Homo-oligomer: A and B are copies of this chain.
Amino acid sequence: MESDEGFKIAVEEAKKGAAEGGIPIGACLVSADGKVLGRGHNMRLQKSSPTIHAEIAALEDAGRQPASSYKGATMYTTLSPCDMCTGACILYKIGRVVLGENETFVGGEDYLKHRGIEVVNVRSAECEGLMRDFIRDHPEDWWVQNMHKKSS
């Protein structure tokens, strides 16, 4: 199990999203030397935003950083990252992606690995529970644009 502070913050962010009535996905970007660079959560519903996913929000919260800040950094996220957030991690040459679960959605994990990024799945029951509750209560806000669901 991953017990990093970054993962705890990502879960806190997911819960903030849930409390706001949003999609409960949180993220936290931590530098190689353990500094929290940025944190955030999905704002799809709160801001009618198609692009402010949790990982994007965390990168944005970190602001413009020199390339050295991203080197060896970890993106903690409560859910397997979608294709856009996968691409964002590749763009900034983030070293590692630690994800909470991939039972409710499978994103670009294989492509991250193909591009040299380490991927760790924490298999967090808490993260999965947040997503399952949201999907049960707001299916119309989840299924519309998420077609890459696991068949299991």
| Chain A interface (Cβ < 8 Å from any Cβ of B) | 44, 48-52, 56, 59-60, 62-67, 82-88, 90-92, 108, 111, 144-145
With contacts A44-B64, A64-B44 taken as known, whether A51 is within 8 angstroms of B88 at the C-beta atoms is: yes
A112 to B88, CA, bound (A): 15
- CB of A64 to closest CB in B, whole Å: 5
- CB of A41 to closest CB in B, whole Å: 15
Question: Would you call A51 and B44 a contact (CB within 8 A)?
Answer: no
- CB of A32 to closest CB in B, whole Å: 17
Question: Would you call B64 and A87 a contact (CB within 8 A)?
Answer: no
- CB of A43 to closest CB in B, whole Å: 11
Instruction: Give 10 nearest A-B pairs by CB, closest first.
Output: A87-B87, A83-B87, A84-B88, A84-B87, A83-B90, A83-B91, A84-B91, A48-B64, A51-B60, A51-B56
Chain B residues with Cβ below 8 Å from A56 are: 51, 56
Which chain B residue lies CB-closest to A145?
B67
Question: Would you call A60 and B49 a contact (CB within 8 A)?
Answer: yes
A6 to B100, CA, bound (A): 39
- CB of A47 to closest CB in B, whole Å: 9
With contacts A83-B87, A84-B84, A145-B92 taken as known, whether A50 is within 8 angstroms of B67 at the C-beta atoms is: no
A67 to B62, CA, bound (A): 30
Q: Which of B44, B52, B59, B88 contacts A87 (CB 8 A)?
A: B88
Question: Would you call A60 and B50 a contact (CB within 8 A)?
Answer: yes
